[in-house]
Structure 1
Amino acid sequence: MSSIQETTRERETTKLSHPINVTSEIGTLKTVLLKRPGKEVENLVPEYLQRLLFDDIPYLPIIQREHDYFAETLKNRGVEVLYLEKLVSETLNNSELKNQFVDDILRESNANVNGAGKALKEYLLSFSTPDMVDKIMSGVLKKEIETSKKTRLYELMEDHYPFYLDPMPNLYFTRDPAASMGNGLTINKMREPARRRESLFMEYIIKHHPRFAGHDVPVWLDRDYEFPIEGGDELILSNEVIAIGVSARTSARAIEKLALNLFKKNSSFKKVLAVEIPKSRAFMHLDTVFTMVDYDKFTIHPAIQGPEGNMNVYILEKGPDEDHVNITHRNNLQEALKEALGLSELILIPCGGGDEIAAAREQWNDGSNTLAIAPGVVVTYDRNYISNQLLREHGIEVIEVLSSELSRGRGGPRCMSMPIVREDLRK
């Protein structure tokens, strides 16, 4: 073997041994992070749905069955599936770290703890580590703490709200709290208070889990940054281009700060496209209205575009110094994508075929939220049959998964998955 071949092989081995590698939306998916819905879903009640960001209450046995089907679909295609709850349990492998984690969770839950921190900490630490993690995720009811542990008047005279620690029913949308980007990731400040604790799990995993600790994983933007950003808005279009939605959940300031950090730390990324979408519950993140399915094909919900496809797209590139970016404006998404990706042609496939009723219905049920597991191969919800058929007519292999209960959370296959390793695209 020549020295050149040996060097190339060493580089490939080093790349594969790095725990994170995501340089596109469509590269063959090798490793993904999921969260199986648990008791936190059953702790939803009608009175507090809005507080916990749900529109309905999924039926736990069926949502688990559907999620297992989704996970098995990925495994059958050779994808390694990691589970968030298991990684967290493996991370908290000593009493010091476990204590620190509980302190952090209680501090960030202060609005609901109502002075019962000491009793809550004792209660949580009384469980085995896996059971403690499940309990933190599913929520702690006030009635779970023995009355004898409540020694202060404000503890005895509690309000009617049933939880000391709110449940985290949105956890099965693993895309949002953190997002892989190149060989690093963003650990995100979530906009809504109901979700802010979620990114704490990934912060601990990256710092302390044996799979990630010691690999010097770059964190391009951490959860302490003051402005919000969420993974559903972060799309890795190539090893040089990222698209990020300016949405109801992601701020323009966070996008600019992320771009500055990427350029400053000499990542491979050279352009960040800030794509403004309507700020509404239906269009929560960019990936609810726009996803990449092949080298030159994207799904799109037509309602995000104005006449002639007009919408605001800002291209951020390295500026004259490390504190500034150059910003140019485009008003047509299709043309901006062609320019940024160096494509002569590009196809936007409309959700629901662009029909006024079908498009709105299927977009509400995440018809545009596809998870690419290889170029031209996507996982979608079975209920969006018009969008799925249109994808097939454009040469895309569509793998449908069950969705009657999963879809009640307002998120699709991309929302439910955080890719950790993808194969690089061949040039």
Structure 2
Amino acid sequence: MNPLNVRSEIAPLKKVLLHRVGREVENLTPDILDRLLFDDIPYLEIAQKEHDAFAGLLEDNGVEVVYLEDQIAEVIKDDDLRREFIEQFLDEGKVFSPGERSAVKDYFFSMNNTELINTMMAGVRKREVPKIANCSLNDMVDSEYPFILDPMPNLYFTRDPFATIGRGVSLNHMRTDVRNRETIFSEYIFKYHPDYRDCEIPFWFNKNNTSCSIEGGDELILNDKVLAMGISHRTDAAAIEEVAKKLLYDEQETFERILAFKIPNKRAFMHLDTVFTMVDYDKFTIHAQIEGQLKVFSITKGQEDGLKIEEEEDTLDNILKKYLKLDEITLIKCAGGDEVDAGREQWSDGSNTLAIAPGEVVVYSRNHVTNKILEENGVKLHLIPSSELSRGRGGPRCMSMPLIREEL
């Protein structure tokens, strides 16, 4: 059995990668929230209980749950890989001054693998590391900034650093430096973990070969032939072209078309899945503000290994009917489009759902107006608590990376 298989947003979910929110959120302070892409500081104890409820719900519905932190800890049992991983992590974290780098390496090498990974994710405070030798001007300059390595609070949104597409992955280059270290974990897992190392996993996009950005929230698999991608605040058009050149020409894959949606370049429309998710064959949740005319680029194979790109402007309704070959579809607006309710529930990701089967989705319990409308449209809901998880501005889809779905 192929260790990766995802050709639908709604096919029965069999295996998923999560990260249980950890000490990294307790290293958030008001002064660094904006730079680390957070609006608030979750209360860790409650956030972990909520995340455990999420994982438990998935397991109760027949989904195998694996954790990012466990998978990478298994990879670095190999001493050579462990050393290589630490060096790359320090490079990505821009720890270049000799004194700091030497001290942090000694600190990391003193830990077992589980401690090491949890510490990397949590961030490294200066006071945690033994005295740093003043080997350079950088080491000697007094700085009030408390961290040598920043915390990684966005890690519980496992959707973004990579995306499973078909039997391969898009190993993503994140828009912001503060998130690029996240991708190292998935890179080592898919290259070296026992589940994958002998399987020749194809990379449809490789962050190491480009400077353009792409994030998993902008990659939605509508069916085994059509992939939707967002040209957004976080994903470049050039990155979508790179995916298309590899994915559409792969002879073992079924995908024939990529629909690139141009969405507003602002944080409220951060990713395509912030404003649009698939909940059934013909049902979609949406942010009301994308209901009008959209600019879409249809990308298919062209001549001589090139791409054929056609631009069109139409409503989301018509675009989906056309390319998914459906007579009718239902667009379910967040909170029914009400100005107040939709504004509040969009803020807590009312449009961001995780389908575990056709017409069966996981949602945040707090978005009660949207949830009632989903039920009225025949969608089966699994509610999870979310008072703290939602402070990170991501929903159940954002917090999960499907690894295996059944074929529809």
The TM-score range, normalised by the shorter chain, is over 0.9
SS in 1 for 2:269: coil
- Which residue is 2:353 aligned to? 370
TM-score (norm 1): 0.93
- Which residue is 1:19 aligned to? 3
Q: 1:381 to 1:114 in 2, by over 3 A?
A: farther
Correspondence for 2:271 among 285, 299, 307: 285
What letter is aligned with 2:240? Answer: I
| Distance in 2 (alpha carbons) for counterparts of 1:400 and 1:217 | 34
SS in 1 for 2:402: strand
| Distance in 2 (alpha carbons) for counterparts of 1:403 and 1:261 | 38
Q: CA deviation at 1:24?
A: 0.1
Q: CA deviation at 1:324?
A: 2.8
Verify: 1:253 aligned to 2:203, yes or no. Answer: no
TM-score (norm 2): 0.97
| Distance in 1 (alpha carbons) for counterparts of 2:163 and 2:219 | 7
| Distance in 2 (alpha carbons) for counterparts of 1:39 and 1:103 | 22
Correspondence for 2:284 among 283, 298, 319: 298
What letter is aligned with 1:77? Answer: N
Verify: 1:122 aligned to 2:115, yes or no. Answer: no
> What are structure 1's unaligned runs of at least 5 residues?
1-16
Correspondence for 1:217 among 201, 223, 226: 201
Q: CA deviation at 1:156?
A: 3.9
| Distance in 1 (alpha carbons) for counterparts of 2:383 and 2:132 | 52
SS in 2 for 1:275: strand
- Which residue is 1:234 aligned to? 219
SS in 2 for 1:48: coil
- Is this contact kept in 2: 1:112–1:166, CA < 8 A? no
Q: CA deviation at 1:202?
A: 0.4
- Which residue is 1:11 aligned to? none
Correspondence for 1:82 among 66, 69, 85: 66
> What are structure 2's unaligned runs of at least 5 residues?
none
Verify: 1:340 aligned to 2:323, yes or no. Answer: yes
What letter is aligned with 2:280? Answer: D
- Is this contact kept in 2: 1:106–1:113, CA < 8 A? no
Q: CA deviation at 1:330?
A: 3.3
Correspondence for 1:66 among 50, 69, 76: 50
| Distance in 1 (alpha carbons) for counterparts of 2:390 and 2:399 | 10
Q: CA deviation at 1:159?
A: 0.9
Verify: 1:269 aligned to 2:255, yes or no. Answer: yes
Correspondence 1:66-215 to 2 at 5 A: 66-110=50-94, 116-147=100-131, 149-152=133-136, 154-215=138-199
Q: CA deviation at 1:276?
A: 1.3
What letter is aligned with 1:247? Answer: S
What letter is aligned with 2:81? Answer: L
| Distance in 1 (alpha carbons) for counterparts of 2:392 and 2:96 | 23
SS in 2 for 1:78: coil
| Distance in 1 (alpha carbons) for counterparts of 2:9 and 2:395 | 15
Taking every aligned residue pair, what percent have the same amino acid on both sides?
50
Correspondence 1:386-401 to 2 at 5 A: 386-401=369-384
What letter is aligned with 2:380? Answer: E
Q: CA deviation at 1:263?
A: 1.7
Of 209-218 and 104-113, more deviation after overlay is shown by 104-113
Verify: 1:313 aligned to 2:296, yes or no. Answer: yes
| Aligned alpha-carbon RMSD (Å) | 1.3
- Which residue is 2:308 aligned to? 325
Correspondence 1:341-360 to 2 at 5 A: 341-360=324-343
Q: CA deviation at 1:151?
A: 4.8
SS in 1 for 2:297: strand
Q: CA deviation at 1:114?
A: 7.6
| Distance in 2 (alpha carbons) for counterparts of 1:115 and 1:321 | 53
Of 246-255 and 327-336, more deviation after overlay is shown by 327-336
What letter is aligned with 1:360? Answer: G
| Distance in 2 (alpha carbons) for counterparts of 1:338 and 1:98 | 49
Q: CA deviation at 1:86?
A: 0.2
What letter is aligned with 1:299? Answer: T
SS in 1 for 2:248: helix
| Distance in 2 (alpha carbons) for counterparts of 1:143 and 1:23 | 47
What letter is aligned with 2:313? Answer: R
SS in 2 for 1:320: coil
| Distance in 2 (alpha carbons) for counterparts of 1:85 and 1:249 | 25
- Is this contact kept in 1: 2:297–2:309, CA < 8 A? no
What letter is aligned with 1:346? Answer: I
Deviation per CA, 1:48-99, whole angstroms, max 9, x where unpaired? 1111110000000000010001110111101000000000000111111000
- Is this contact kept in 2: 1:379–1:398, CA < 8 A? yes
| Distance in 1 (alpha carbons) for counterparts of 2:296 and 2:334 | 20
Q: How many residues align?
A: 406
